[in-house]
Amino acid sequence: YPLLPYNTFGIDVSAARFLEYSSVEELKKLIVQGAVVTPFLHIGGGSNLLFTKDYDGLILHSRIEGIEVTEEDEYSVSIRVGAGVVWDDFVAYCVEHGWYGTENLSLIPGEVGASAVQNIGAYGVEVKDLIAAVETVNIQAEERVYSVEECGYTYRNSIFKRPENKSAFVTYVRFRLSKKEYYTLDYGTIRQELEKYPALTLSVVRKVIIDIRESKLPDPKVLGNAGSFFMNPIVPRRQFESLQREYPDMPHYDVDAGRVKIPAAWMIDRCGWKRKALGPAAVHGRQALVLVNSGCLLYTSPS
C-alpha cells in the first residue's frame, strides 16, 4: 500500500498492509478479529515520520471524525474531538465559534489524536494546557480514559510516546476552552504583526499566526518537510547567563525562575547550518528548524 500521501517528507515507500477505521467499535472489531498483528505502526498525518525503506508490517490510521460539545457554561466549553480530525480544521472550528486557546496552534500539520501524543506547541502555547482527557483503545481492545494529569505531559512529550504505550491508540481527545477573551501574544513577532490590524480578534490572531508560519515554513505539498523539527533547549539560568555573556544578542524566553528556553533555530543558524545540504536532505534556507527533502515527489493528501 503506497505511503506517499501519508508522510510529509514525501518519501515514496509502501507498507505490506494498511488499515483505516472510522469508529471505536470498528477498531475494537479489527483487534478482536486478529487483523491488527505485529509489526504495526499507528500513524496520524505523517508529519513526524521519516521512512527510510518500505514498511514490512501493518500501518493503522484513524478516520474517527466529529467535534462534539459535551458541556458548556458562560465561561468555558468542553469539546470531544475525533482523533482523525485534521488539527488545523479543529483550530479553525474553535476560532469560528469564539473559543479561545487553540489559535496560536494554527497551521500545525497533523491530526488531533497525534496532538495529544506529541504535546504539540507553538508561540507560547502547548496543547496540554487545553486538554482535559484522552480516550484510548489498547491492543487488547480495552478502552481507557486518561486524565490530563495521567498523560504525563512535559515539553513535546507524553506517556503515549513511551515504547510500552505504543499499543494504546488515541480515539478521542477532550478539550476545555475558554469563552472569555484572552490571548497569548508575547512570543516571537506576534504583537508586531498585530499592529497591522485595527482590532484584536480571534480570527486576526489566527491569520497572523498563519502568515508568520507561511513566511518561514515550506508547504510539504511543494517541498517535503516535517515542519519545525527540533526542540528548543531549556537550560538552567546559570548556564544561560554564562552563554549570554558570550552571545549578548542571544534570544531567549523565561520558563520559570530557574530555567530559560533558547531558540534552537538561532543556535543552528549561528553554527552555520542554515541551507546546508547532503544530497536531497537539507536545512531549510528560511528556517533553520526545518529539515527538507528537496527530492520529494509531489503528492495529494488522502481525501
Residue 299 has pLDDT above 50, yes or no: no
Checking 258-263 for CB contacts under 8 A at 24+ apart, the result is: 259/234, 259/235, 260/234, 260/235, 260/236, 261/232, 261/233, 261/234, 262/232, 262/233, 262/234, 262/235, 263/232
Q: How many CB atoms lie within 10 A of CB 138?
A: 13
Question: What is the helix, strand, coil percentage profile of the chain, to 5?
Answer: 25, 30, 45
The pLDDT mean for the chain works out to: 94
Nearest to residue 46, comparing CAs of 26, 34, 62? Answer: 62
pTM beyond 0.85 = yes
Q: To which residue does cell 486524565 refer?
A: 147
- What does the pLDDT average to over 91-99? 98
pLDDT at 231: 87
What pLDDT is attached to residue 220? Answer: 87
188 pLDDT more than 90? no
Q: Angle between the 87-96 and 202-216 helix axes, to the nearest 10 degrees?
A: 150
Instruction: Provide mean pLDDT across the span 227-241.
Output: 91
Q: Cβ(127)–Cβ(120) under 8 Å?
A: yes
- Supply the pLDDT for residue 230: 85
What does the pLDDT read at residue 303? 43
C-alpha–C-alpha distance, residues 280 and 108, integer Å: 24
How many whole angstroms separate alpha carbon 115 and alpha carbon 126? 10
Is the preceding peptide bond at 5 cis, omega within 30 degrees of 0? no
Residues 6+ apart with CB under 8 A from 44: 61, 62, 83, 110, 111, 113, 114, 117
- The per-residue DSSP string of 184-240 comes to ---STTHHHHHTTSSS--HHHHHHHHHHHHHHHS--TTTSEEEEE-SPPPEEEHHHH
User: In angstroms, what CA-CA distances link 24 with 83, 185, 193?
Assistant: 10, 38, 43
pLDDT at residue 298 in the model: 53
The mean pLDDT value for 57-67 works out to: 98
Give the least confident one: 80-89, 140-149, 191-200, 281-290: 281-290
* pLDDT at residue 147, as a whole number: 98
Per-residue pLDDT at 297: 58
- When pLDDT is cut at 50, 70 and 90, the band that residue 296 belongs to is confident
User: 23-53, pLDDT tens digit by residue?
Assistant: 999 999 999 999 999 999 999 999 889 999 9
Within 10 A of 121 (CB to CB), how many other CB atoms are there?
20
Say if CB 58 and CB 40 are below 8 A apart. Answer: yes
User: Taking the CB of residue 213, how many other CB atoms lie within 10 A of it?
Assistant: 17
